[in-house]
Amino acid sequence: MDITMMAGGEAGQGVATVGFLLARVFSRGGYYVFADQDYESRIRGGHNFFRVRISDKPVAAISEDVNLLIALNEETINRHLKKVAGDKTGGVIFDRDGVKAALGGVIDLGISMEQLGKTEGGQEGMANSVATGAALGVVGFDFSLLEQAIAEQFSSGGEKIVNGNIRAARAGYDYARKNLPGKVDLTLPVLNRQKRMLLHGNDAIALGALAAGCKFMTSYPMTPATSIMEYLAGKADEFGMVVLQAEDEISAANMTIGASFTGVRAMAATSGGGFCLMVEGLGLAGMTETPMVIVESQRPGPSTGLPTRTEQGDLEFIIHASQSEFPRFVIAPVNIEDAFYATVQAFNLAERYQTPVILISDQYQAASYGTTDKFDLSTVTIDRGLLADGESIKKGYKRHAFTESGISPRAFPGKDGAVVVTTGDEHDEEGHIEEDAGIRTLMVEKRLRKLEQAKHDMTPPLGYGLKDAELLLVGWGSSFGAIREAVDILNQQGISARMICLRDIFPFPAESFAAGFGSPRQAFMVEQNATAQMAHFIRAETGIHIENKILRYDGRPITPGYIVERIKKEVG
């Protein structure tokens, strides 16, 4: 069983509420869920929709085909009707009193949503709850799960609001069970009560930061990274954490460096425009060899661009950001579960190598919801890196001491009697400003030596599919789920395919990538930007030229269907 429900309407009509309730209910009923939101950057007005994919098998990408379209206004039908499945596997739930759009041959699942919401719920504005109940009624799902979810969703509004929405949803459910049974061939029984978490990427990153022992987080709000700060702010007291909204991204970067310099695990989160402002601070962390974790959640630019859409357009900027040369790590989590473990890894790498680590995400991963099993906390370790011992401090502590690995023992100011000196200028081993040409050369080489060891800590690219397949798809980061499913579809259709997806990007795992790449008859680079940035970077690092490109840069996520359609045009 694998179906997609889509709720659509104007901002302010409760589209997100419908979508989130459906995602929560079906995940609690034992199904795997993947859901994404598409919304405009305005408070009211503009077309929004929320897609929820429900399956009895794990899913990590959205489907462009729709089985149940829940239209809270007429525009939703006009925009999305062509996506609704036929042959009794698709239909449209809409307000039959207010919507007059032609459905063609698509099955009519109309209901008096506004009227039932007002009469049963007790006030206007509950049509979305009626629609949610009707959707569950159409597929014959357990209403008690929805009742529980509504109670949680509207708990802050008080008992009257909770009960009103439950009654409205019940009215929609009962109407569908009485008047719409058998109209569509869609039935979703409760599978089990197995508990899975329903999270989006930003939730997973925030939880990873908590598990890693992060005690200071600061950011300036910027979509789509803001909810990381919001989540951590809600947990700050419980975990003894300081969460601070900075006046701008420059301050956020510098405060993160300051906290980390004192020995506190610290992070900041932003999007591309905010990262531009953090770049000077990034260079300061590189020069002072201060651990620093930054989440860069991409969205289309330049400038304000499309604030609520997705893209993978910041890759080369992040790899090369700030002047001159110094080591850094760039990690692109491949899914929601991986975002948790990658965040823990980011903090460990930052302190092990005393350098910035950038987690590169995007709006699609940040705001999409997915089911995942409980995180295995037994695998979480805390690596504070090379710390100065009391004996070396007594001999005279040198913050930037020359070592074979390039990593100097780290001491925290105010502890163990160490005098910790550093500066954003070039400096000697003790941290004092130094302009000697020989010292400059040694310091540059010292910092860059970290990269040689760091390459051994890079996770190899993730492979999937037929080992000897003629067709290879190459991707990175959040495109993993869509590409993996596209590989399955292609193999089912007789096109021999496999994939390789980069997760740890810099330092680039050149040897493992080349080994995983192999010698395919034809390779396609799949990414969400206009210039194939990863393809360019792969060629620079390995000499491998991937000629064929599947690119998307309209702000919408890459889907399995999008990939398959374009490949079939090329290979016939």
Backbone phi, then psi, for 258, in 5-degree steps? -60, -45
Let me know if residue 186 belongs to a domain: no
b/e map of 64-87 (b: 16 or more CB within 10 Å)? ebbbbbbbbbebbbeebbebbbee
Residues 25, 154, single domain; the answer is yes
> What is the model's pLDDT at position 386?
96
pTM: 0.94
The per-residue pLDDT for range 346-395, each reduced to its tens digit, is 999 999 999 999 999 999 999 999 999 999 999 999 999 999 988 878 88
Query: Considering just the CA atoms, what is the radius of gyration of the chain in Å?
Result: 26
> What is the model's pLDDT at position 572?
66
Average pLDDT, the chain: 94
Residues 243, 257, single domain; the answer is yes
CATH number at residue 528: 3.40.50.920
Mean pLDDT of 172-180: 93
Collapsing DSSP to helix, strand or coil, 276 comes out as: helix
Residues 174, 279, single domain; the answer is no
The letter for the amino acid at 108 is: D
Let me know if residue 257 belongs to a domain: yes
Backbone phi, then psi, for 361, in 5-degree steps? -115, -165
- 449 and 406 in contact (C-beta within 8 Å)? yes
Tokens 């062509």 correspond to 82
- 34 and 5 in contact (C-beta within 8 Å)? no
Residues 477, 447, single domain; the answer is no
Residues 398, 329, single domain; the answer is no
Tokens 């913050």 correspond to 399
> Residue 96 and residue 109: Cα distance in Å, rounded?
9
Let me know if residue 156 belongs to a domain: yes
- 301 and 529 in contact (C-beta within 8 Å)? no
> What is the model's pLDDT at position 167?
94
- What is the number of helices (H) and of strands (E) in the chain? 19, 20
The letter for the amino acid at 417 is: G
Residues 146, 273, single domain; the answer is no
Mean pLDDT of 477-490: 97
According to DSSP, the β-strands at 548-551 and 522-527 are parallel
End-to-end CA distance of the chain: 29
The per-residue pLDDT for range 514-546, each reduced to its tens digit, is 999 999 999 999 999 999 999 999 999 999 999
**CB burial class (10 A; 0-12, 13-18, 19+) of residue 43?**
exposed
C-alpha closest to that of 21 among 161, 128, 139, 156: 128
Q: Which domain holds residue 306?
A: 199-379
According to DSSP, the β-strands at 497-502 and 471-476 are parallel
The per-residue pLDDT for range 397-453, each reduced to its tens digit, is 999 999 999 999 999 998 778 899 999 999 999 999 999 999 999 999 999 999 999
Give yes or no for residue 45 having a pLDDT over 80: no
Residues 423, 503, single domain; the answer is no
Let me know if residue 504 belongs to a domain: yes
Residues 337, 228, single domain; the answer is yes
Tokens 């050149």 correspond to 510
Residues 344, 367, single domain; the answer is yes
Q: What is the DSSP letter of 459?
A: P
Q: How confident is the model at residue 327 (pLDDT cuts 50, 70, 90)?
A: very high
Domain boundary residue, one of 456, 484, 503: 456
> What is the model's pLDDT at position 272?
96
Beta bridge mates, 359: 295, 331
In a 13 Å sphere around the CA of 177, the CA atoms on its Cβ side amount to 14
Let me know if residue 130 belongs to a domain: yes
Domain boundary residue, one of 437, 456, 475: 456
Give the number of domains in the chain. Answer: 4
Q: How confident is the model at residue 265 (pLDDT cuts 50, 70, 90)?
A: very high
> Residue 393 and residue 399: Cα distance in Å, rounded?
10
Let me know if residue 190 belongs to a domain: no
Residues 365, 476, single domain; the answer is no
Let me know if residue 194 belongs to a domain: no
According to DSSP, the β-strands at 47-55 and 2-10 are antiparallel
Listed in sequence order, the residues at least 6 apart from 170 whose beta carbon sits closer than 8 Å to its beta carbon are: 120, 133, 143, 147
C-alpha closest to that of 54 among 87, 75, 30, 85: 30
Tokens 């070592």 correspond to 403
Let me know if residue 189 belongs to a domain: no
The per-residue pLDDT for range 280-304, each reduced to its tens digit, is 999 999 999 999 999 999 999 999 9
Give yes or no for residue 192 having a pLDDT over 90: no
Listed in sequence order, the residues at least 6 apart from 327 whose beta carbon sits closer than 8 Å to its beta carbon are: 286, 353, 355, 447, 448, 450, 451, 454, 507
Structure tokens at 323: 């002047």
Give yes or no for residue 501 having a pLDDT over 80: yes
Q: How confident is the model at residue 2 (pLDDT cuts 50, 70, 90)?
A: very high
Residues 452, 479, single domain; the answer is no
- 570 and 548 in contact (C-beta within 8 Å)? yes
Residues 450, 468, single domain; the answer is no
The letter for the amino acid at 218 is: T
Per the document, the length of the chain is: 572
> Residue 442 and residue 438: Cα distance in Å, rounded?
6
Backbone phi, then psi, for 211, in 5-degree steps? -65, -30
Domain boundary residue, one of 413, 440, 456: 456
> Residue 191 and residue 28: Cα distance in Å, rounded?
9
* Max CA separation in the chain (angstroms): 85
Give yes or no for residue 570 having a pLDDT over 90: no
